[in-house]
Amino acid sequence: MTVNVLVVDDSAFFRRRIKDILEKHPQIKVIGFADNGREAIDKAVQLAPDVITMDYEMPQMNGIVAVREIMNIKPTPILMFSSLTYEGARVTLDALDAGAVDYLPKSFESMASDPGASAALLQEKVLSIVRRGAPRGAAMARPAAPPAGAAPRPGMPPSAAPRPGMASAPGAAPAAGGGAKAGPGSRGPLMSQVVEDLRRNKPRAILIGSSTGGPVALQKVLSMLPSSFPFPLLIVQHMPSTFTTAFAERLNRICQVEVREAQDGDLLRPGVAYLAPGGRQMLLDDRGLGLHISDGNDKFQYKPCVDVTFGSAAKNIKGRLLGLVLTGMGSDGREGCRLLKKTNSMVWSQDEESCVVYGMPQAVESAGLSDAVLSVDELGRCLKDIG
């Protein structure tokens, strides 16, 4: 199968370079170009590409507005190019809010010279997001309505109506096409029994790992939790260092639980979500009560790495844990979940239907490590229930 790509960038150099890189892969063909957002919308309708690569800063219409319009008119998987700055991170998160699927850092140096691994990553991203098919509209979740009588967090926007197809209360019927599948191949206890088991045996902490599509999935899950959520959450999202600061700030504004970028020496507190800083590793101290942020080594492909944090938690937090593996490329999280299971902890994974890329959850499920396989909305509801 040939993947047809529309390249959108106001720089002729970048348009040519992206084309050259993509077409080195035998399955990818660039079928058109656009140098501004308005033209991108027209070409998306005219050419019906399988994937669009999108720049942000362009004349006539910027990339975010173009993404939003394309998602309204002709939903298409869109890969954003982003600068590795705080402002670039903020813009990229806005693009994901508008409906983009994923992003890649945009570097003149890597594009001008032999890009090597950067080229392979671009090709891999394009191929992975096209397998998911056309998105169903803008992806970021709106914040969940706060519990009755609860005061909104400072700076949190007004609550919005539930998204179509999402159950409005715990215990309501699951969305069409959802449905909990407890364990690999639908083996294992019913989801209600899994939740009840966790209510009786409260986990010491909630661990969450994600990659491609993770910012959207994490926002959906965390926005459903009340400010009184009784467990600390440790979150590992594959992101550059400049992005995790902006992402933590964004989540903290819109969620009722407190979300912060983890710092060395942080003590775990209920109702606080600690986001692993990009480019570093997040571990638990020897007592399992606080965090140790380390530069780590080159043994692991990812910084931060889900396996590292999950493994450290399994070793140092005495008691039961709950690990969640969300959408993402690759298999990061599988070995960490294996260690969690050895401590009698539970593991939930996101289902294929609601994933952008099914790699990480699939690796966990295929290894027989998932106690439950759930849609992203169900994951949020079940976390809320066990609280």
Distance CA 285, CA 138 (A): 39
Note whether 3 and 51 are within 8 A (CB).
Answer: yes
User: Token digits for 23?
Assistant: 């077409």
pLDDT value of position 238: 96
Task: Reply yes or no on whether 83 is catalytic.
Answer: no
| Residues comprising the chain, all counted | 387
Distance CA 353, CA 141 (A): 16
pLDDT value of position 308: 97
pLDDT value of position 33: 98
Q: Among the residues of 183-231, which ranges form H helices?
A: 191-200, 214-222
**Residue closest to 144 by CA, chosen among 156, 157, 162, 170:** 162
**Catalytic residue (one of 128, 210, 211, 375):** 211
Region label for 163, one of left (φ > 0), alpha (ψ between -120 and 50) or beta (otherwise):
beta
Cis peptide before 240 (omega within 30 of 0): no
Distance CA 33, CA 23 (A): 14
Distance CA 288, CA 290 (A): 6
Tens place of pLDDT for every residue, the chain, 387 residues? Answer: 899 999 999 999 999 999 999 999 999 999 999 999 999 999 999 999 999 999 998 989 999 999 999 999 999 999 999 887 888 899 999 999 999 999 988 865 655 555 577 788 899 999 988 876 656 444 444 444 444 444 444 444 333 333 333 333 333 333 333 344 544 433 345 677 778 878 888 899 999 999 999 999 999 999 999 999 999 999 999 999 889 999 999 999 999 999 999 999 999 999 999 999 999 999 999 999 999 999 988 888 899 999 999 999 999 998 899 999 999 999 999 999 999 999 999 999 999 999 999 999 999 999 999 999 999 999 999 999 887
pLDDT value of position 112: 57
Residue with tokens 């050419």: 47
3 state SS of 4: strand
Contacts 24+ apart (CB under 8 A), 167-172: 167/377, 167/381, 170/381, 170/384, 170/385
CATH 3.40.920.10 fits 3-131, yes or no: no
pLDDT value of position 114: 52
Q: Which CATH superfamily is domain 184-386 in?
A: Methylesterase CheB, C-terminal domain (3.40.50.180)
pTM higher than 0.85 for the full model?
A: no
Residue with tokens 């937090």: 317
Q: Give residue limits of the domains in the chain.
A: 3-131, 184-386
**Catalytic residue (one of 332, 351, 371, 377):** 332
DSSP 281-342: EEEE-TTSSBEEEE---TTSSSSS-HHHHHHHHHHHS-S--EEEE-S-SS-TTHHHHHHHHH
CA-atom Rg of the chain in angstroms: 20
**Catalytic residue (one of 10, 238, 312, 354):** 238
**Residue closest to 168 by CA, chosen among 226, 216, 224:** 224
Task: Reply yes or no on whether 292 is catalytic.
Answer: no
Q: Do the domains 3-131 and 184-386 sit in the same CATH topology, yes or no?
A: yes
